[in-house]
Amino acid sequence: MKEKVLMIGLGAMGSVLARLLVEKGKKVTVWNRSEEKTLPLRAIGAAYTPDIQEAVTANDIILICVQDYAITEELLQGISLKGKTVVQLSTGTPQDARLMAASFSARGAGYLDGAILATPSQMGTGHTPIFLSGNKTAWATSEDTLRILGGGLVYLGEAPGAASAWDIAALSSMFGMMIGFLNGARLFESEGLQVADLGNMILNIAPVLGQMIKDTADDIQQEKYDSPQSSLDICAGTFDLMVRLSAENKLDAGFARFAQQLFRKGQEAGYGQQRISALMKTLR
Protein backbone atom coordinates (compact mmCIF):
# COMPACT_ATOMS: atom_id res chain seq x y z
CA MET A 1 0.00 0.00 0.00
CA LYS A 2 1.26 3.47 -0.81
CA GLU A 3 0.57 5.50 2.32
CA LYS A 4 -0.65 9.05 1.91
CA VAL A 5 1.48 11.42 3.94
CA LEU A 6 0.44 14.70 5.54
CA MET A 7 3.18 17.15 6.55
CA ILE A 8 1.99 19.61 9.21
CA GLY A 9 4.36 22.56 9.73
CA LEU A 10 6.33 24.11 6.91
CA GLY A 11 8.94 26.14 8.73
CA ALA A 12 12.65 25.90 7.90
CA MET A 13 12.68 22.17 8.69
CA GLY A 14 9.17 21.05 7.70
CA SER A 15 9.46 22.64 4.22
CA VAL A 16 12.61 20.63 3.51
CA LEU A 17 11.00 17.42 4.80
CA ALA A 18 7.96 17.92 2.58
CA ARG A 19 10.13 18.72 -0.46
CA LEU A 20 12.23 15.56 0.00
CA LEU A 21 9.07 13.42 0.19
CA VAL A 22 7.57 15.00 -2.94
CA GLU A 23 10.86 14.60 -4.83
CA LYS A 24 10.93 10.89 -3.95
CA GLY A 25 7.46 10.42 -5.43
CA LYS A 26 5.47 10.21 -2.18
CA LYS A 27 1.83 11.27 -2.24
CA VAL A 28 2.14 14.29 0.04
CA THR A 29 -0.37 16.80 1.38
CA VAL A 30 0.93 19.85 3.20
CA TRP A 31 -0.62 22.04 5.87
CA ASN A 32 0.78 25.15 7.55
CA ARG A 33 -0.70 27.93 9.67
CA SER A 34 0.53 30.56 7.18
CA GLU A 35 -0.72 29.42 3.82
CA GLU A 36 1.99 31.17 1.76
CA LYS A 37 4.58 28.57 2.86
CA THR A 38 2.54 25.88 1.09
CA LEU A 39 2.98 27.57 -2.33
CA PRO A 40 6.51 26.35 -3.27
CA LEU A 41 5.49 22.80 -2.32
CA ARG A 42 2.23 22.91 -4.27
CA ALA A 43 4.32 24.14 -7.23
CA ILE A 44 6.32 20.88 -7.19
CA GLY A 45 3.30 18.61 -6.79
CA ALA A 46 2.21 18.53 -3.13
CA ALA A 47 -1.53 18.65 -2.47
CA TYR A 48 -2.95 21.26 -0.10
CA THR A 49 -6.01 21.04 2.12
CA PRO A 50 -6.67 24.28 4.04
CA ASP A 51 -8.86 22.53 6.65
CA ILE A 52 -6.50 20.63 8.97
CA GLN A 53 -9.26 18.23 10.06
CA GLU A 54 -9.95 17.23 6.44
CA ALA A 55 -6.23 16.92 5.80
CA VAL A 56 -5.75 14.53 8.74
CA THR A 57 -8.82 12.47 7.79
CA ALA A 58 -7.62 12.00 4.20
CA ASN A 59 -4.09 10.81 5.06
CA ASP A 60 -2.47 7.77 6.69
CA ILE A 61 0.86 9.04 8.06
CA ILE A 62 0.77 12.41 9.81
CA LEU A 63 4.23 14.00 10.14
CA ILE A 64 4.42 17.03 12.42
CA CYS A 65 7.20 19.60 12.57
CA VAL A 66 5.99 22.74 14.34
CA GLN A 67 7.45 24.85 17.15
CA ASP A 68 6.59 22.50 20.02
CA TYR A 69 4.27 19.88 21.52
CA ALA A 70 1.77 22.34 22.99
CA ILE A 71 1.13 23.74 19.50
CA THR A 72 0.77 20.19 18.15
CA GLU A 73 -1.86 19.40 20.81
CA GLU A 74 -3.68 22.62 19.99
CA LEU A 75 -3.65 21.99 16.23
CA LEU A 76 -4.94 18.41 16.52
CA GLN A 77 -7.46 19.10 19.29
CA GLY A 78 -10.82 17.44 18.61
CA ILE A 79 -9.63 15.73 15.39
CA SER A 80 -10.11 11.96 15.13
CA LEU A 81 -6.74 10.17 15.02
CA LYS A 82 -8.19 6.65 14.87
CA GLY A 83 -6.01 4.42 12.69
CA LYS A 84 -3.52 7.19 11.90
CA THR A 85 0.23 6.90 12.28
CA VAL A 86 1.40 10.11 13.92
CA VAL A 87 5.11 10.98 13.89
CA GLN A 88 6.12 13.96 16.00
CA LEU A 89 9.30 15.56 14.65
CA SER A 90 9.14 18.79 16.68
CA THR A 91 11.67 19.07 19.49
CA GLY A 92 10.59 18.38 23.08
CA THR A 93 11.48 16.66 26.34
CA PRO A 94 10.98 12.96 27.17
CA GLN A 95 8.01 13.97 29.33
CA ASP A 96 6.44 15.85 26.38
CA ALA A 97 6.80 12.63 24.37
CA ARG A 98 5.28 10.43 27.08
CA LEU A 99 2.28 12.72 27.51
CA MET A 100 1.70 12.97 23.76
CA ALA A 101 2.06 9.20 23.32
CA ALA A 102 -0.55 8.61 26.05
CA SER A 103 -2.95 11.21 24.71
CA PHE A 104 -2.70 10.24 21.00
CA SER A 105 -2.75 6.48 21.70
CA ALA A 106 -5.95 6.97 23.71
CA ARG A 107 -7.39 8.64 20.60
CA GLY A 108 -6.54 5.57 18.48
CA ALA A 109 -3.31 6.69 16.82
CA GLY A 110 -0.03 4.78 16.53
CA TYR A 111 2.39 7.33 17.97
CA LEU A 112 6.07 7.61 17.15
CA ASP A 113 8.26 10.29 18.68
CA GLY A 114 11.12 11.58 16.56
CA ALA A 115 14.11 13.82 17.10
CA ILE A 116 16.11 15.19 14.18
CA LEU A 117 19.79 15.72 14.93
CA ALA A 118 20.58 17.79 11.83
CA THR A 119 19.90 21.13 10.16
CA PRO A 120 17.54 21.51 7.18
CA SER A 121 20.40 21.50 4.64
CA GLN A 122 21.73 18.23 6.12
CA MET A 123 18.43 16.36 5.64
CA GLY A 124 17.93 13.57 3.13
CA THR A 125 21.46 12.13 3.10
CA GLY A 126 22.26 8.47 3.62
CA HIS A 127 23.46 9.13 7.17
CA THR A 128 21.31 12.06 8.46
CA PRO A 129 20.56 11.04 12.09
CA ILE A 130 16.95 10.84 13.26
CA PHE A 131 16.15 9.15 16.58
CA LEU A 132 12.75 7.47 16.90
CA SER A 133 10.89 5.77 19.73
CA GLY A 134 7.35 4.67 20.46
CA ASN A 135 4.76 2.35 18.99
CA LYS A 136 6.39 -0.53 17.07
CA THR A 137 3.61 -0.75 14.47
CA ALA A 138 3.84 2.99 13.82
CA TRP A 139 7.59 2.54 13.28
CA ALA A 140 7.04 -0.32 10.82
CA THR A 141 4.41 1.71 8.95
CA SER A 142 6.46 4.88 8.67
CA GLU A 143 10.04 3.56 8.33
CA ASP A 144 10.21 3.76 4.51
CA THR A 145 8.82 7.30 4.51
CA LEU A 146 11.16 8.43 7.29
CA ARG A 147 14.18 6.90 5.52
CA ILE A 148 13.69 9.48 2.74
CA LEU A 149 14.23 12.23 5.34
CA GLY A 150 17.42 10.73 6.75
CA GLY A 151 19.26 7.45 6.23
CA GLY A 152 20.63 7.39 9.78
CA LEU A 153 17.37 6.32 11.43
CA VAL A 154 17.76 4.82 14.89
CA TYR A 155 14.66 3.14 16.38
CA LEU A 156 15.16 3.06 20.15
CA GLY A 157 12.23 0.88 21.18
CA GLU A 158 8.76 1.43 22.55
CA ALA A 159 9.47 3.85 25.44
CA PRO A 160 8.32 7.13 23.83
CA GLY A 161 10.77 9.36 25.74
CA ALA A 162 13.93 7.69 24.42
CA ALA A 163 14.28 9.65 21.17
CA SER A 164 14.20 13.05 22.84
CA ALA A 165 16.49 11.86 25.67
CA TRP A 166 19.06 10.80 23.02
CA ASP A 167 18.58 14.08 21.19
CA ILE A 168 19.00 16.34 24.22
CA ALA A 169 21.96 14.33 25.56
CA ALA A 170 23.65 14.59 22.16
CA LEU A 171 22.95 18.34 22.05
CA SER A 172 24.34 18.70 25.58
CA SER A 173 27.57 17.01 24.47
CA MET A 174 27.78 19.03 21.25
CA PHE A 175 27.00 22.47 22.65
CA GLY A 176 29.08 21.79 25.77
CA MET A 177 32.06 21.30 23.48
CA MET A 178 31.05 24.32 21.38
CA ILE A 179 30.99 26.59 24.45
CA GLY A 180 34.40 25.27 25.46
CA PHE A 181 35.64 25.95 21.94
CA LEU A 182 34.32 29.54 21.94
CA ASN A 183 36.07 30.12 25.26
CA GLY A 184 39.30 28.78 23.75
CA ALA A 185 38.79 30.88 20.61
CA ARG A 186 38.54 34.05 22.72
CA LEU A 187 41.76 33.03 24.48
CA PHE A 188 43.43 32.60 21.04
CA GLU A 189 42.20 36.02 19.93
CA SER A 190 43.49 37.65 23.10
CA GLU A 191 46.94 36.17 22.39
CA GLY A 192 46.89 37.36 18.76
CA LEU A 193 46.55 33.80 17.40
CA GLN A 194 44.37 32.66 14.49
CA VAL A 195 41.07 31.07 15.58
CA ALA A 196 41.06 29.03 12.34
CA ASP A 197 44.19 27.25 13.57
CA LEU A 198 42.37 26.20 16.75
CA GLY A 199 39.53 24.84 14.57
CA ASN A 200 42.03 22.75 12.56
CA MET A 201 43.73 21.49 15.69
CA ILE A 202 40.41 20.35 17.18
CA LEU A 203 39.52 18.62 13.91
CA ASN A 204 42.81 16.71 14.04
CA ILE A 205 42.34 15.57 17.64
CA ALA A 206 38.58 14.86 17.27
CA PRO A 207 39.01 11.05 17.28
CA VAL A 208 41.02 11.28 20.53
CA LEU A 209 38.33 13.49 22.10
CA GLY A 210 35.67 11.00 20.99
CA GLN A 211 37.63 8.13 22.55
CA MET A 212 37.98 10.07 25.84
CA ILE A 213 34.20 10.56 25.98
CA LYS A 214 33.60 6.88 25.24
CA ASP A 215 36.11 5.77 27.92
CA THR A 216 34.45 8.05 30.48
CA ALA A 217 31.02 6.66 29.53
CA ASP A 218 32.34 3.11 30.02
CA ASP A 219 33.84 4.09 33.41
CA ILE A 220 30.47 5.48 34.54
CA GLN A 221 28.57 2.43 33.29
CA GLN A 222 30.96 0.12 35.20
CA GLU A 223 31.22 2.43 38.25
CA LYS A 224 34.98 2.55 37.63
CA TYR A 225 36.48 5.60 39.34
CA ASP A 226 39.85 4.52 40.77
CA SER A 227 43.40 4.31 39.32
CA PRO A 228 43.23 7.49 37.20
CA GLN A 229 45.85 8.35 34.57
CA SER A 230 44.89 11.96 35.16
CA SER A 231 43.28 12.59 38.53
CA LEU A 232 40.38 14.93 39.23
CA ASP A 233 42.83 17.13 41.20
CA ILE A 234 45.08 17.44 38.13
CA CYS A 235 42.11 18.19 35.82
CA ALA A 236 40.73 20.76 38.31
CA GLY A 237 44.04 22.63 38.11
CA THR A 238 43.22 23.44 34.45
CA PHE A 239 40.34 25.61 35.56
CA ASP A 240 42.29 27.39 38.29
CA LEU A 241 44.77 28.32 35.53
CA MET A 242 41.95 29.36 33.22
CA VAL A 243 40.41 31.65 35.85
CA ARG A 244 43.82 33.29 36.40
CA LEU A 245 44.40 33.61 32.64
CA SER A 246 40.95 35.22 32.26
CA ALA A 247 41.96 37.90 34.78
CA GLU A 248 45.39 38.41 33.16
CA ASN A 249 43.97 38.73 29.61
CA LYS A 250 40.74 40.49 30.72
CA LEU A 251 38.51 37.71 29.38
CA ASP A 252 35.01 36.64 30.45
CA ALA A 253 35.63 34.05 33.21
CA GLY A 254 32.09 32.57 33.24
CA PHE A 255 32.99 29.28 31.57
CA ALA A 256 36.16 28.78 33.63
CA ARG A 257 34.34 29.54 36.91
CA PHE A 258 31.46 27.20 36.09
CA ALA A 259 33.85 24.30 35.44
CA GLN A 260 36.02 25.24 38.45
CA GLN A 261 33.08 25.01 40.87
CA LEU A 262 31.99 21.68 39.39
CA PHE A 263 35.45 20.18 39.90
CA ARG A 264 35.68 21.77 43.34
CA LYS A 265 32.49 19.99 44.41
CA GLY A 266 34.07 16.71 43.30
CA GLN A 267 37.23 17.47 45.29
CA GLU A 268 35.20 18.46 48.37
CA ALA A 269 33.35 15.14 48.15
CA GLY A 270 36.74 13.39 48.37
CA TYR A 271 37.13 12.33 44.73
CA GLY A 272 40.35 14.27 44.05
CA GLN A 273 42.44 11.15 43.46
CA GLN A 274 39.79 9.45 41.32
CA ARG A 275 39.06 9.52 37.58
CA ILE A 276 37.10 12.36 35.96
CA SER A 277 34.17 9.92 35.72
CA ALA A 278 33.81 10.40 39.52
CA LEU A 279 32.20 13.79 38.83
CA MET A 280 29.12 11.79 37.89
CA LYS A 281 28.73 10.90 41.57
CA THR A 282 28.68 14.64 42.39
CA LEU A 283 26.10 15.31 39.67
CA ARG A 284 23.90 12.49 40.99
Edge-to-edge strand list for the sheet holding 47-48: 47-48, 27-31, 4-8, 61-64, 85-88, 110-116, 129-134, 152-155
- Residue 94 is a binding residue for ligand NAP (CB under 6 A): no
- Residue 65 is a binding residue for ligand NAP (CB under 6 A): yes
Q: Cα–Cα distance between 49 and 64 in angstroms, integer?
A: 15
**Which residue's CB is nearer to ligand NAP, number 11 or number 151?**
11
* Radius of gyration of the chain from its Cα atoms, rounded to whole angstroms: 23
- Residue 231 is a binding residue for ligand NAP (CB under 6 A): no
**Which residue's CB is nearer to ligand NAP, number 34 or number 229?**
34
Q: Cα–Cα distance between 258 and 241 in angstroms, integer?
A: 13
- Residue 12 is a binding residue for ligand NAP (CB under 6 A): yes
Candidates 7, 9, 148, 225: give the one binding ligand NAP (CB under 6 A).
9
**Which residue's CB is nearer to ligand NAP, number 13 or number 21?**
13
The residue sitting closest to ligand NAP, measured at its beta carbon, is 11
- Residue 152 is a binding residue for ligand NAP (CB under 6 A): no
Q: Cα–Cα distance between 95 and 62 in angstroms, integer?
A: 21
- Residue 147 is a binding residue for ligand NAP (CB under 6 A): no
Using alpha carbons, select from 131, 123, 140, 108 the residue that is nearest to residue 24. Answer: 123
- Residue 72 is a binding residue for ligand NAP (CB under 6 A): no
As measured in angstroms, the least distance from the Cβ of 72 to ligand NAP is 9
- Residue 14 is a binding residue for ligand NAP (CB under 6 A): yes
Q: Cα–Cα distance between 56 and 43 in angstroms, integer?
A: 21
# binding residues, ligand NAP (CB under 6 A): 21
CA angle 168, 173, 174 (to 5 degrees): 95
The footprint of ligand NAP (CB under 6 A) covers 9-14, 32-34, 37, 65-68, 71, 75, 90-91, 116, 119-120
